[in-house]
């Protein structure tokens, strides 16, 4: 495998609805934004694309990805679509990495989108719940917030995690987004606001849960040869680790076994833990382990500078701290409570505002994380956030992006490193 670099990224401002632009136009906007950032790159240098959108139901159009590839002027070059629920965008980023690492392409565009405004919220919940087993899960009350509520209920039971700790995630992420002009719902809120907002699925309130969005994102990746030959950028970001993990479609089907250990952990840490149960994501842990292995990361808390993770729920952000090994299993609630994941904490998590505040146009989300992580590592957050550099972390060298599907069914982790 050869080195792969990200050289540019772009996105649309995520919005509840964008009836003026269809998915092709939105991707074009994100793509042009990325292209403008690398003036030496011309359309003819792009060898192909990989595409992500989650739901054919939302799009009401099969092969929608080729319509984008076509609209961008990339025909007859190679392209294909990836699909893996909520992790679609993250998996797509890895597909772009694979195309370059394998030597198949020199310059590859990864684009993603979702247009969720085409049905009402309740029908949207139904479409999303079709990504649970439609024979056994969906008919019982198919509702993802219900599934996540059950997971965190058990997390609370096992580890003493509290609803206030969860609310702190919402406060942090919505607050960070006040400085992210690309985000859908920046908000200055309190723990009390989160707890007082409408109860959706006990214990998750409306402010514990991300929203549906229309949006698109684009990332351009290339080989070292292309980077040097075309002098594409002097601020490249290298993809140094990729990992992916999975778990059973049905949450109910996960028997207990041994904890998947990270390099800095030992079996004795978890003598009494029944794992993964419904409170932890063994797929997330597996994805992290593989990404760390490739990136030669021994202790993520010391060797990463920030994380952009898939906080579809405040609870899943806490669960994911543990899966990623930022703290031990069971310590996630305390980890947010102690402020470790705030912008100034020892491991800023979701400086962008995450899904909770940026929105979650599924096929674009994982790529949006890559774009903001890329800007962080380039040190260009201010430039891309309308001159507001508040979210720019001080000299970050490595960041991790994490994309997550289903009830922890597909999960991708990718480690990015400053390449200059």
Binding site for other proteins (CB under 8 A): 19-20, 60, 120, 122-123, 125-126, 129, 135-137, 139-143, 145-146, 149-151, 153-154, 157, 198-204, 248, 250-256, 278
Give the tokens for residue 223: 């080989």
CB of 133 to other proteins, least distance (A): 9
Nearer to other proteins, 232 or 312 (CB): 312
CB of 123 to other proteins, least distance (A): 5
Q: With contact defined as beta carbons under 8 Å apart, do 219 and 96 qualify?
A: yes
CB of 260 to other proteins, least distance (A): 16
Triad 103, 404, 61: Cα angle to 5°: 75
Nearer to other proteins, 71 or 138 (CB): 138
Give the tokens for residue 65: 């990805």
CB of 347 to other proteins, least distance (A): 28
Nearer to other proteins, 186 or 283 (CB): 283
CB of 316 to other proteins, least distance (A): 14
Nearer to other proteins, 246 or 380 (CB): 246
CB of 129 to other proteins, least distance (A): 5
> Who contacts 198 (Cβ-Cβ below 8 Å, separation ≥6)?
205, 206
Nearer to other proteins, 278 or 381 (CB): 278
Q: What is the DSSP string of 165-215?
A: HHHHHHHHHHHHGGG-TT-S------HHHHHHSPEEETTEEGGGB----EE
Q: How far apart are CA 81 and CA 195, in angstroms?
A: 39
Q: How far apart are CA 107 and CA 14, in angstroms?
A: 26
Give the tokens for residue 44: 């003819």
* Burial (0-12, 13-18, 19+ Cβ within 10 Å), 394: exposed
Nearer to other proteins, 157 or 231 (CB): 157
């Amino acid at each position: 495998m050869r080195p792969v670099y990200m050289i540019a990224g772009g996105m649309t401002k995520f919005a509840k609805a964008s009836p003026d632009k269809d998915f092709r136009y939105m991707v074009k906007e994100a793509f042009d934004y990325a292209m403008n950032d690398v003036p030496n790159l011309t359309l003819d240098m792009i060898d192909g694309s990989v595409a992500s959108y989650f739901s054919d139901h939302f799009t009401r159009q099969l092969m929608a990805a080729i319509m984008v590839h076509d609209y961008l002027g990339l025909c007859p070059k190679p392209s294909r679509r990836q699909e893996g629920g909520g992790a679609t965008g993250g998996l797509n980023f890895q597909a772009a990495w694979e195309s370059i690492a394998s030597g198949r392409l020199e310059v590859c565009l990864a684009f993603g989108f979702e247009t969720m405004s085409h049905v009402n919220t309740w029908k949207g919940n139904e479409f999303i719940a079709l990504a649970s087993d439609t024979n056994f899960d969906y008919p019982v009350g198919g509702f993802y917030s219900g599934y996540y509520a059950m997971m965190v209920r058990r997390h609370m039971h096992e580890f003493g995690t509290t609803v206030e700790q969860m609310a702190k995630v919402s406060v942090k992420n919505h607050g960070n987004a006040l400085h992210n002009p690309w985000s859908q719902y920046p908000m200055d809120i309190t723990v009390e606001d989160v707890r007082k907002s409408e109860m959706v699925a006990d214990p998750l309130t409306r402010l514990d849960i991300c929203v549906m969005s229309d949006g698109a994102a684009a990332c351009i990746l290339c080989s070292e040869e292309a980077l040097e030959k075309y002098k594409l950028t002097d601020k490249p970001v290298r993809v140094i680790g990729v990992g992916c993990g999975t778990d059973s479609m049905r949450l109910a089907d996960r028997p207990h076994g041994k904890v998947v250990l990270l390099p800095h952990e030992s079996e004795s840490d978890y003598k009494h833990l029944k794992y993964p149960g419904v409170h932890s994501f063994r797929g997330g842990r597996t994805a992290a382990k593989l990404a760390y292995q490739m990136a030669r990361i021994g202790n993520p808390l010391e060797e990463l500078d920030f994380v952009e993770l898939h906080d579809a729920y405040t609870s899943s952000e806490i669960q994911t701290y543990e899966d990623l090994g930022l703290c031990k299993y069971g310590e996630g609630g305390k980890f947010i409570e102690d402020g470790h994941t705030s912008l100034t904490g020892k491991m800023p998590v979701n400086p962008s505002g995450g899904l909770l505040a940026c929105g979650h146009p599924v096929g674009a989300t994982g790529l949006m994380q890559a774009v903001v992580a890329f800007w962080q590592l380039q040190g260009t957050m201010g430039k891309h956030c309308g001159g507001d550099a508040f979210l720019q972390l001080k000299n970050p060298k490595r960041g991790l992006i994490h994309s997550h599907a289903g009830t922890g069914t597909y999960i991708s982790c990718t480690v990015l490193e400053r390449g200059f």
